[in-house]
A and B are shown apart, each in its own frame.
Chain A
Amino acid sequence: MSDVEAITALGDPVRRRVYDYVVAQDHEVGRAEAADAAGIQRTLAAFHLDRLAEAGLLDVVFRRPPGRSGPGAGRPAKLYRRSAADHVVSLPPRDYGTPAALLAEVVDALGAEGDLERVARRHGRAVGETAEGGVEEVLARQGYAPYRADGAVRMRNCPFHAVAREFPPLVCGMNLALVEGLLDGMGETGLCARMRARPGECCVEIASKNNDD
């Protein structure tokens, strides 16, 4: 299925609600949970979940609930999670990924990470100075999918995933500088950004300076 068709699958507002719920979770979601979250019947939730999976927007896994295994545990449940694939639609067609990868390779070869971080910090600060709303709102608008855990703000999505996967230290360092600049520009002097890379998440977390560990 093409990227345009994938995006088109989100045209239905109920399906969009189901999608938004699933991708915001830190766990795989079954149809009952999705139905409750979207306020719809389970059969309808299952229909939308399967459509989203067909469109390549969600991945399907079959898993038994934790703690249940062996004979008598029943059939594994069908669960859904955010697709590992990116879907990009640009009309007219534009390709920013290729130049980003080429430029990253040059910065890497020149050892110019320091310059990239300086530029990123300046850019983040400029964005922060004019940003409306709180930190989590601003990060959410930029696609980071922030959530709170252990007193910190963490982010489920890396907006730079395609190029970060190819040049992790370079792009993750840029990202840290961007977020530091953003906090600075927003006048959030009580918060600090720091590296906390984990599989499947953004490499940065935001913590309060007071309970810094």
Chain B
Amino acid sequence: MTDHHLAQLNVGRLRWPLDAPESAGFVDGLKPINALADASPGFVWRLTDEGGQDATSIHPDGDDMIVNLSVWESRQALWDFTYRSDHLEYVRRRREWFQRPTEPIMVLWWVPAGHLPSLEEALARLARLREAGPVPEAFTLRRPYEPDGRLAPT
């Protein structure tokens, strides 16, 4: 195993409350897609709320904001789950359920293997990405860095 794991935070502002019929397509996908993530190669951990199933009751910035915080063994593992599994269909349809973002909503950073990031830590990384653009401490899938701070080949 590697010394580092990849943490990712993704935030989104809902267009409608989760119990509204317009959100049903998203809500119906939560259970199967979370199960798919949990069973994916390279999956390490994801944040869940007190319900233990998902993180939908965690709202760090207004009731319409929901978060997804997870840890993966590698960039490839995260990429394959995000874009090369049934999860892709939900990414493709994201505009049906989420407001169009005007600033970055997903951030990646390396953590020592075994470290589970807190939401505060994750939000600070996102703020860093928003103010500085991709840097080794807060980057994106399109412009990734290695754990040693070098720009990764894509």
A168-B88, A172-B88 are contacts. A197–B83 as well, Cβ < 8 Å? yes
Give per-residue flags for B76-104: 1 if the beta carbon is below 8 A from chain A beta carbons, else 0: 00001011111111011011000010000
Whether B142 is near chain A, meaning CB under 8 Å from some CB there, is yes
**Distance A146 CA – B154 CA, assembled complex (angstroms):** 27
Count B interface residues, CB 8 Å: 16
Contact A197 B95 (CB under 8 A): no
Contact A196 B86 (CB under 8 A): yes
**Distance A166 CA – B79 CA, assembled complex (angstroms):** 11
Whether A92 is near chain B, meaning CB under 8 Å from some CB there, is no
A111-B100, A166-B142 are contacts. A173–B92 as well, Cβ < 8 Å? yes
**Nearest neighbor of A166 in chain B, beta-carbon distance:** B142
Range, interface on chain A: 10 to 19
Chain B interface main SS type = helix
Residue picked from A114, A168, A198, A203, most chain B C-beta under 10 Å = A168
Residues of B within 8 A of A114 (CB): 95
Which residues of chain A in 168-213 are interfacial with respect to chain B, using CB atoms and an 8 Å cutoff? 168-169, 172-173, 176, 195-200, 203
**Distance A61 CA – B29 CA, assembled complex (angstroms):** 38
Q: CB within 8 A of B84: which of A111, A173, A198?
A: A198
Q: CB within 8 A of A169: which of B85, B91, B154?
A: B91
Contact A169 B83 (CB under 8 A): yes
Min Cβ gap A101→B in Å is 10
**Nearest neighbor of A105 in chain B, beta-carbon distance:** B142
Contact B86 A172 (CB under 8 A): no
Contact B85 A195 (CB under 8 A): no
Whether A28 is near chain B, meaning CB under 8 Å from some CB there, is no
Contact B92 A198 (CB under 8 A): no
B interface residues (Cβ-Cβ under 8 A, vs A): 80, 82-89, 91-92, 94-95, 100, 142, 154
Interface pairs (27), CB distance under 8 Å: A111-B95, A111-B100, A113-B92, A114-B95, A165-B154, A166-B142, A168-B82, A168-B88, A168-B91, A169-B83, A169-B88, A169-B91, A169-B94, A172-B92, A173-B92, A195-B86, A195-B88, A195-B89, A195-B92, A197-B84, A197-B87, A197-B89, A198-B85, A199-B80, A199-B84, A203-B84, A203-B88
A interface residues (Cβ-Cβ under 8 A, vs B): 111, 113-114, 165-166, 168-169, 172-173, 176, 195-200, 203
